Structure 1
């Protein structure tokens, strides 16, 4: 019986059943709708004995993303199950360069827009079974937003012509250009306990902008950790922190992203030697300011070093020496130039030594000399001797305000001022010194020279601008009193160095260092008296200095103790490590990381003003902030790498990680409310 022959109630019942069936089918259809649509496309016909390229084109909905073959810290890659005619075979999928997506401290390798994965399909030689050959693909993938993930899949079918047409799909030109080409030359890799090192052959003229390496092998590297890049001629050296330990793979492959437009190359690395030297390049964590702005920061930073307690007394005495009655214009200019030459030579020497040591593979940064107990002992001896000189215990011509020491004296004073000032890092100076570790060597040396110019600028201007000299007080007996007053900040510097010596190598080491400083000062006092009596002082002074140096070289190492206890903090911080930082960020809580050192004056001021405060502790506890401290008092390769990757040559460095968001680098000078306001936002 046809529907038209049914009674009226029968036709109504049939219609209701059809409507109900349609309504029941709608939710099932909506549930099976993918947030990332997939389509299987062939470039052309599948000719016998040849290879045809297939594309799996994915189109995510806005806000959704798919994953690379190695998804990173979360997710999973695509799974393909082919149903092909007999003898046909599908090759390895070829992916475009992925993007990085950091969510709650987890690094993901994703595609946020439309993308195509290419697969070569090999067709056997001989006559095809028919003019049209059907193929089928069962594909499974993961679709995610920044909040949820949904497993998705589809069965994709395609009917391929095996003859009679040469038409090809021109969309493959764009899709193929997005696939990174495989480098013809093999790369090399080395596995250390905590680092994967790669040597990738890459022509030197090829510029890199925000490079990043995506490693194919899963769980081999720390995906969220900063990567370091170096140039050694036509070889790009990459250092990536490891995630686990073990023997590692027999080969390492992956994609090197070259710039922000998605360009990249694929590489295959075998075990081999990786160069240890090279010119550092700016990594993912460091974006360099224009050179003129960096030079301005170096100039201002050097200028501010003059107010440091170890430099201010020396500068003050040299300034007052120019106020002597009868000082000629030519003499003032000569002293200004000699002092400037001494300062700039010292900063260039320290900077060049830093660059050479880093190029040789040493993990060091600005003020690296203060991480060595021997250098601190030398500075302690020097500061003690200068303090005694300023207090009037003996006379040192280069720091005299009653007579000129000539150009050689001004030059030596410039060397002295720069050497005692170089450990400091202040406002404006941090970005410039951090960039100096990433720029080409000649630009880095230019930054160090401008830093020295800034340090010498006040005295240089006094030498060349008579009006500025006329602003100085007139000479008189008060100058000797002022000189003794200046012994106070220099004496405090000596005490700070003594405390630092104890922090670096223990109290017994510091006691012996203090004895050596006292004996050297006594030797200078005796030399002054011998000179006053008309006796020669050069030979006794050299012999005494050599004896003290020999004593120090033999005795001090026996008392060195490298096990200094961590300093207490009201914030009860977690010791810094890359793993601890990743774990803290993965917890979903805000994280505050600060890098400090016992010898850093700016660090200590910030800690007393903004960090080590009950108000900060209470705000952190209320917001659940994880506090983490990196102590760089001693040399620490992991901290040095982290500082360099964030464009900092030294401490202090302050980073604020909001929950599930990108980090924020805080200024080098903190106010009492800086951290409290961040925790309360």
Structure 2
């Protein structure tokens, strides 16, 4: 044990000596720096505002930089600012670090490009300047696993006063920061170990957790850490160093695993629960995986009654009931394969985007205007088919589609079902974000299997088909009635296109849909004459594809929020401010494409009884709109163990722990919440 502090002391001494010599002897940045540093400002601001600066650190391959607490060896970033008169800097904000164990020494490092953010508060009086020059003398240590080199650079930058576009990279860099807990944890020193209790949802899984401590001279960084589940509390045990200080508080970051982000915490002296279920670096337990698979399967099953899926399932079932399919089992398997493949594809793309640093969640594709346009045109075509305008064999009660048609119908059903997050899917989708990739894909496959199960059962169990109504002319009338829910789905998608793409985008898209309807009507006339429709179908496809490609740029509609509850836009700063004031807080996260969100808002949230109860209790209402991609909201959802919306959180007055409310709200649930 004594060897590690001695080695660290020597390492720190040598590092400090090298930095001192470098500062004295190197008047300018060395051309051979192994870490390229760049100073950037987020964008134009007004006098008196706070502007975010970034030091973009880009190490050469094989080299790494250090976190604020470098660990057993290394040296953090040191900055000496030259700012306009009256400007002040805030604390450096680092992304979640990585561990690097070298010869028994634990290092807290970054082996990739990373950005350190620094807020700068500007004075009210800038003397009419439109450009404010800034500079910083930066010193750091950059290392490989065998050699370390101290480096420095004098970086120049400019803050623009005025208005204009912000640097979009800052949103991604903010998303890389650990999400701050809105309440404190507790810690205790006992049995030669630091024990930390952190509030952490029981529904959220941990892949390979690690506790990074900002508080120095307290823990043995290289020693194994132990993690325990105790309800909605995570208990971490870290062996102490040989001569630990007794801190007034403990600060740090809980890293939740590779590409899973982290949580910044502050822990105060207090009681740490004993016992609990130990978890390790194995990413998941069989129980957690089993529950995630079950939740996804049941959630997929529930999706079958949603208005965008039920018409498809109904017509497929009636086609089997009519006996027009000579290979019911083959069609059922093909349909299931299409559904499962679509769910795996959507889940795989989401996991790949998250692994590359993108902040996305389930149904992420609905935040893209182009995808919404494709879905709208599909819904219009399906509505026309149900209404009898033209014949689509895959959605016919007159004849079977064959395996290829059933496979395509399965792909379509799964793709259009993603906005309808079922009430059993929240924990399952949240778990999928932190499970190993192969286990996460198993969750998405279970979702697809649940969605496909009714048709799969009809195909393999003839007795179930006998329970269906007898064939007759009513089937065609039923098909026409199914145009109603599908038409409503198309209207909802048109509204969503306006929200994510803007007015011009939506008007052009609707015009394309009208032209497409005309082409499909011509297909129907030709079909009824018994003539070939290949050319007309090709024309309709070209209209749809060319129309989507030629759509004008999306300019999202600016919608005034508030509603009956006078809700304010959600941000972690707004949440912290309300909690600091001791007020109860209701935070809800929604999206225009989320059907269950909209139902809850109309039946339980936007109600006069809820408004009166919240007004009487002084409740602060915060709404996180996830209709369009928002990395900050995505990061917060992930920290709560949620992969998407809806999410409802109730924070009682004071410093009580938040309560995660069910995804299906009853009309009087919110009005009856305890405020203390």
Shorter-chain TM range is: 0.5 to 0.7
Q: Secondary structure at the match of 2:441?
A: helix
Q: Could you say if the C-alpha distance between residues 235 and 678 of structure 1 is closer, same or farther in structure 2, counting changes exceeding 3 Å?
A: closer
Corresponding residue to 1:462 among 450, 458, 463: 458
The answer on 1:668 being equivalent to 2:643 is no
Distance 2:340 2:466 in 1: 26
After superposition, residues 484-563 of structure 1 pair within 5 angstroms as: 484-533=480-529, 536-557=532-553, 560-563=554-557
C-alpha distance after superposition, 1:394-414 (max 9, x if no partner): 111110101111111111111
- Which residue is equivalent to 1:677? 672
Q: Is 2:334 aligned against 1:338?
A: yes
TM-score, normalising length: structure 1: 0.62
Instruction: Give aligned pairs, total.
Output: 473
Question: Could you tell me the TM-score, scaled by structure 2's length?
Answer: 0.63
Deviates more, 1:565-574 or 1:406-415: 565-574
For the residues of structure 1 that align with 2:425 and 2:642, how far apart are their CA atoms?
A: 10
**What secondary structure, in the 3-state scheme, does the structure 2 residue paired with 1:571 have?**
coil
Secondary structure at the aligned position of 2:666 is classed as coil
User: Which residue number in structure 2 is paired with residue 271 of structure 1?
Assistant: none
Question: Secondary structure in 2 aligned to 1:314?
Answer: helix
Change (3 A) 1:547 1:333: closer
| Aligned match of 2:434 | 438
Q: Deviations over 1:81-127 (max 9, x none)?
A: xxxxxxxxxxx9xxxxxxxxxxxxxxxxxxxxxxxxxxxxxxxxxxx
CA spacing shift, 1:434–1:186, aligned 2, 3 Å: farther
* 8 Å contact from structure 1 (residues 505, 564) kept in 2: no
SS in 1 for 2:95: strand
Aligned partner of 2:369 in structure 1 is: 373
Structure 2: runs of 5+ lacking an equivalent: 7-11, 13-68, 80-88, 105-115, 121-176, 184-197, 228-234, 242-254, 266-282
Q: Which range moved further: 564-573 or 477-486?
A: 564-573
Which of 597, 600, 610 in structure 2 is aligned with 1:603? 597
Pairwise CA distance, 1:426: 1.4
* Counterpart mapping for 1:355-366 below 5 A: 355-366=351-362
Larger Rg: 1
Partner of 2:26: none
**CA separation of 1:396 and 1:661: change in aligned 2, threshold 3 A:** same
1:593 matched to 2:581 = no
3-state SS of paired residue (1:673): coil
1:206-230 Cα shifts (integer Å, max 9, x gaps)? 9xxxxxxxx9x999998535999xx
What is the aligned-residue RMSD (CA, Å)? 4.3
1:572 maps onto 2:566 in alignment: yes
CA distance in 2, matches of 1:218, 1:325: 69
- Gap regions ≥5 residues in structure 1: 1-51, 54-91, 93-179, 207-214, 241-250, 267-274
- Report whether the alignment pairs 1:199 with 2:133: no
TM superposition shift of 1:449: 0.2
Change in Cα spacing, 1:577 to 1:318, as seen in structure 2 (3 Å) is same
- Measure how far apart 1:545 and its partner are: 2.8
Deviation by residue 1:513-538 (Cα, 9 ceiling, x = unmatched): 11111222322232343455565433
Distance 1:264 1:562, change over 3 A: farther
1:239 to 1:430, Cα distance in 2 relative to 1, 3 A: farther
Post-superposition shift, 1:622?
1.3
Q: Distance between the aligned counterparts of 1:280 and 1:653, measured in 2?
A: 19
**Structure 2 matches for 1:639-658, cutoff 5 A?**
639-658=633-652
| Distance in 2, Cα, partners of 1:590 & 1:581 | 10
| Equivalent-residue separation in structure 2 for 1:548 and 1:218 (angstroms) | 47
The match for 1:475 among 471, 475, 497 is 471
Distance in 2, Cα, partners of 1:587 & 1:472: 60
Is contact 2:90–2:119 with CA below 8 Å preserved after alignment? Answer: no
